[in-house]
Amino acid sequence: MPATHEVVNQVPPLEHDVAADPALAEAVGRTEAAWVVDELHELGRLAGGEQVQEWSRLVNENEPVLRTHDRFGHRIDEVEFHPHWHDLMNVAVSHGLQGAPWRDERPGAHAARAAKFYVWSQSEAGHTCPISMTYAAVPALRANPELTEKYEPLLASTEYDFGLREPSTKRGLIAGMSMTEKQGGSDVRANTTAARPAGDGTYRLVGHKWFTSAPMSDMFLTLAQAPGGLSCFLLPRVLPDGSRNPIRLQRLKDKLGNRSNASSEIEYDDAVGWLVGEEGRGVRTIIEMVNNTRLDCALGSSSGMRLGAVRAVHHATHRYAFGKALVDQPLMANVLADLVIEAEAAVAASMRLAAAGDRRADEQEQAFRRLGLAVTKYWVCKRAPMHAAEALECFGGNGYVEESGMPRLYREAPLMSIWEGSGNVAALDALRAMGRQPESVAAFFAEVELAAGGDSRLDDAVDRLKKDLSDVDDLEFRARRVVESMALVLQGSLLVRHAPRAVADAFCGTRFGGDWGLAFGTLPAGTDTSAIIARARV
């Protein structure tokens, strides 16, 4: 058929090295992980390349399928994935994202892993859920030295070995976490799953879990009510004798986003588990796992914001309207620069907390990390959905179409604010940290005040925050406002100390100085938008 028109003014495909990110490079340079740079670029080229983008599309369009029974009617409780899901998992595991830092003695191993997680998450977010949980399971499992000796080397292995087999016979393991129940949600102390001692060193669990992500994992850390109270247990899917542990997959969740990853409802039908830690101390045991996955929530949200900003800048650079490129239109430049600033503030805070993870013998660093994780998880993850919506809008109608990739980014964005404690839970956890560990407040302000005198607007915000914290009346009611302020002054301090002047000045003028509207793209006149946008141009 004859062509009806010539197709012009189209944006070329975006293929790039995801690790070519100035804010990330600067953040890594402030850690002990400079040795990871070459590997970051290797991952970055994969994540931003055509092949992996195609894998990502296919695993989201061909979602996991639950197979509860085989053709003979035998219970199998298996999840079937698209082959490229396993390709994505293999890249992540072979680069150590799921646990290698626990056995890597090089300085900066955890910061290096965080940087790799941030880069590789821009390939496809769904498969990073089991990767994150496996990484986070190791410190919790260490409450049981016997289990640690048996399984930690396999959890930290760089070999991806998918398949339902007895864990100790495999070359590498994936671990999940199973906490939430129907009646309790975030209130895990309301859990009713019961665990009774079997007399052979194991427990038998009966009950349910309302959300168990990545049910194809080899083993799970779970909470159940033992005779001594709420306790933590390790449940493998295959028992030492080769039989299947009766963990029944009831159905997969039909989720808003994260479609490539399976999340399930399960029932324990006299399932076998091993106690991790002491009876009655289940929350204390598993909280170390939670804190590590909360860091990955912040990293994942930061990663999504960076991807959204880069895509928006790329589109605006190559798309023309009213006689010039969108990126050269003043109002669009305002929006793009604001998106870049938000993404850079997010990665700066997330990587600072990752660096603290390498200094576990430093009490002040750990006190800072405890409080800083709660406030950063709350704020960065809360900003991601708004950021994704604005980045999508930069494409106009093209951004609303699945082929652009922006709807998937938009659907994924709210997850991190819900996973591992929704906004209220994260804000209240920050108050709890301040109440139980007053030294965390001192450590937090010691970090923030490293930028004292660098920007008067930041200094004023720190003073206001101290006054807010000194007023204990209605503090729980004001928790979101207080925690938001804490997150912003932490981000502001890092940007004033380390970011280019254009970025730091725009952040402080808007987030603290009041020269900002209620939407992205309301930066004040005089902002050096060109210098800021250049940091997201590929």
Q: Does a structural domain hold residue 3?
A: no
What per-residue confidence (pLDDT) applies to 1?
Answer: 64
Q: Residue 370: enclosing H or E segment and its boundaries?
A: helix 363-393
Q: What is the mean pLDDT of residues 476-485?
A: 96
CATH number, domain of 233, equals 2.40.110.20
What per-residue confidence (pLDDT) applies to 256?
Answer: 96
Q: What is the mean pLDDT of residues 239-257?
A: 96
Q: At what angle do helices 50-61 and 83-94 cross, to 10 degrees?
A: 130
Sign of CA dihedral 240, 97, 411, 191: positive
* Confidence bin at 500 (pLDDT 50/70/90): very high
What are 64-119's pLDDT values in tens digits? Answer: 999 999 999 999 999 999 999 999 999 999 999 999 999 998 999 999 999 999 99
Q: Are residues 255 and 348 in the same domain?
A: no
What are 481-494's pLDDT values in tens digits? Answer: 999 999 999 999 99
Q: What is the mean pLDDT of the chain?
A: 96
Q: Are residues 203 and 343 in the same domain?
A: no
What per-residue confidence (pLDDT) applies to 105?
Answer: 87
Nearest-5° Cα angle at 129, 285 to 261:
135
Q: Does a structural domain hold residue 16?
A: no
DSSP string, 373-437: HHHHHHHHHHHHHHHHHHHHHTTGGGGGSGGGSHHHHHHHTTHHHHTTS-HHHHHHHHHHHHHH-
What's the whole-model pTM score?
0.97
Task: Please say if the pLDDT value at position 419 is more than 90.
Answer: no
CATH number, domain of 381, equals 1.20.140.10
What per-residue confidence (pLDDT) applies to 2?
Answer: 75
Q: Are residues 406 and 515 in the same domain?
A: yes
245, 280, 315 — which closes off a domain?
A: 280
Q: Does a structural domain hold residue 266?
A: yes
Q: Are residues 202 and 100 in the same domain?
A: yes
What per-residue confidence (pLDDT) applies to 22?
Answer: 98
What are 365-410's pLDDT values in tens digits? Answer: 999 999 999 999 999 999 999 999 999 999 999 999 999 999 999 9
Q: Does a structural domain hold residue 17?
A: no
Q: Does a structural domain hold residue 10?
A: no
Q: Are residues 317 and 258 in the same domain?
A: no
Q: Are residues 121 and 185 in the same domain?
A: yes
Percent of the chain with pLDDT over 70: 100
Q: Which domain holds residue 33?
A: 22-280
Task: Please say if the pLDDT value at position 420 is more than 90.
Answer: no
* Confidence bin at 48 (pLDDT 50/70/90): very high
What is the rounded CA–CA span in Å between residue 333 and residue 523? 10
Q: Are residues 104 and 237 in the same domain?
A: yes
Q: Are residues 136 and 225 in the same domain?
A: yes
280, 308, 323 — which closes off a domain?
A: 280
Q: Are residues 490 and 348 in the same domain?
A: yes
Instruction: Report the domain count for the chain.
Output: 2
Token couple for 385: 């959905």
Closest CA to 370 of 470, 448, 302, 437: 437
Q: Are residues 254 and 337 in the same domain?
A: no
Q: Are residues 408 and 458 in the same domain?
A: yes
Q: Are residues 87 and 160 in the same domain?
A: yes
Q: Does a structural domain hold residue 532?
A: yes
Token couple for 325: 């490129």
What per-residue confidence (pLDDT) applies to 188?
Answer: 85
Task: Please say if the pLDDT value at position 156 is more than 90.
Answer: yes
Percent of the chain with pLDDT over 90: 94
SS3 labels along 233-302:
EEEECECCCCCECCEEEEEECCCCCCCCCCEEEEEEEEEEEEEECCCCCHHHHHHHHHHHHHHHHHHHHH
Q: Does a structural domain hold residue 6?
A: no
Q: Does a structural domain hold residue 14?
A: no
What per-residue confidence (pLDDT) applies to 311?
Answer: 98
What per-residue confidence (pLDDT) applies to 516?
Answer: 94
Contact 128, 412 (CB under 8 A): no
What per-residue confidence (pLDDT) applies to 176?
Answer: 94
249, 280, 311 — which closes off a domain?
A: 280
What per-residue confidence (pLDDT) applies to 325?
Answer: 97
- Amino acid identity for residue 390 in this structure: E
What is the rounded CA–CA span in Å between residue 398 and residue 404? 7
